[in-house]
Chains A and B, each alone.
Chain A
Amino acid sequence: MTQTRLLIIDDDPDYVDGIRSILEKANYEVDVAYNPQDGFKALESKSYDLLLLDIMMGRGAEGVMVARKINKDPNLREIPVLIITGIREQMAFLFPGQAVHPRFLPTDELLEKPVDPKLLLEKVAALLQEAKEKKAQKE
């Protein structure tokens, strides 16, 4: 069986190092893109089983734009997306006490930084499983 391949799009190198080592220890193959542009290039060049996406990148909440763009692309839409964000700390003063938006894509889940390693692995496994079942259903 081929190894499951994940892509991280996040601009914070220290944070990426952290979750990357967690995921690699759990025997996933992990690629990283440090900005949305490189992220799309990677998505086009290889096929990934799961995408881990940050929100606050580039000029602002560009992760949202990435998610919307993926949703519009019929090839990429099938990829499960795990959004990991620190947006509450960075922007929540705008809408105090309100929930971070739970869904951008039909396939996504959202975790907030800092992420507990166990929870991260659980979510990743659950999303991969869900995607697999969906695929099996289609076939």
Chain B
Amino acid sequence: MSAKPTFSHEISNLMYKSHGNPTKSCIQCGTCAGTCPVAEYMDQTPRRLIGMINANLKEEVLASNTYWFCASCYHCTVRCPSQIDIAGVMYAVKRYSIWNKSYSEDLVGPAFSEAFVKIIARSGRSYEPILAPTYMFSMEPKEFVQEAFNATKMMLKGRIPVLPTRIKHIKNFQEMIRRIIPIGGES
């Protein structure tokens, strides 16, 4: 209790409520990396990331893009023979890097998450035209045009609303958020 926790302890403190085993029980079998559908876009595979967390390589872990590329499909969590909640580990590292503002600036993930949460808190529904600019400018020109073209097409077909919509009883919903996140007004 009194000894200063290492980086791997900090991560397990962030996950103390998760159902899986702590990262220390990893046997480095590589099932997670073999299963991961987005592993090819990551600079470190999930197996390596867990190994790095266990070795307390804090800077290297935070500098990797692995946890931002995780698509949260939970396939690794399901297949892990040591019952580690690997998707949970990814979320824990994400929280760590957001709370400590230690992610690299060129990533789309943090800005996207912030915009998404903001939109949800305000209207209760996702609204793509506000969300898109957070990632569109990091695209190649050709992809950018394609994306804009697709979005316009979907808008014309009524798949993307032109004006942002709100859920019913938005006040109640915001009240609920305030119960969890203690900012603004009385609860």
CA distance A86 to B99 in the complex (A): 9
Known: A58-B16, A61-B181. A101 touches B186 (CB 8 A): yes
Among A34, A64, A87, A100, the residue within 8 A (CB) of B5 is A34
Known: A93-B114, A94-B118. A64 touches B182 (CB 8 A): yes
Mark the stretch among A35-43, A115-123, A129-137 that contacts chain B: A35-43
A32 CB within 8 Å of chain B:
yes
What's the nearest-Cβ distance from chain B to residue A12, in Å?
8
Flag if A32 contacts B1 (CB, 8 Å). yes
CA distance A59 to B99 in the complex (A): 12
Flag if B2 contacts A94 (CB, 8 Å). no
How many A-B pairs with Cβ below 8 Å? 82
A75 CB within 8 Å of chain B:
no
CA distance A88 to B184 in the complex (A): 11
B167 CB within 8 Å of chain A:
no
Q: Interface 1/0s, chain B 2-25, versus A by CB < 8 A?
A: 101100011001111100000000
A126 CB within 8 Å of chain B:
no
Q: Interface 1/0s, chain B 88-117, versus A by CB < 8 A?
A: 000000010011010000000000001001
Hey, which chain B residues are within 8 Å of A35, CB to CB? 13, 16
Which residues of chain A (46-75) have a CB below 8 Å from chain B? 55-61, 64
By beta carbon, the residue of chain B nearest A97 is: B184
What's the nearest-Cβ distance from chain B to residue A63, in Å?
9
Flag if A31 contacts B17 (CB, 8 Å). no
Among B14, B15, B114, B182, the residue within 8 A (CB) of A101 is B182
CA distance A88 to B99 in the complex (A): 11
CA distance A100 to B178 in the complex (A): 10
Among B9, B13, B101, B183, the residue within 8 A (CB) of A91 is B183
Q: Which residues of B contact A (CB under 8 A)?
A: 1-2, 4-5, 9-10, 13-17, 95, 98-99, 101, 114, 117-118, 121, 177-178, 180-187
| Beyond A34-B5, A59-B95, A100-B183, 13 additional pairs, beta carbon < 8 A | A13-B5, A17-B4, A33-B1, A35-B16, A37-B16, A57-B14, A60-B180, A60-B181, A61-B182, A86-B99, A91-B181, A94-B177, A94-B183
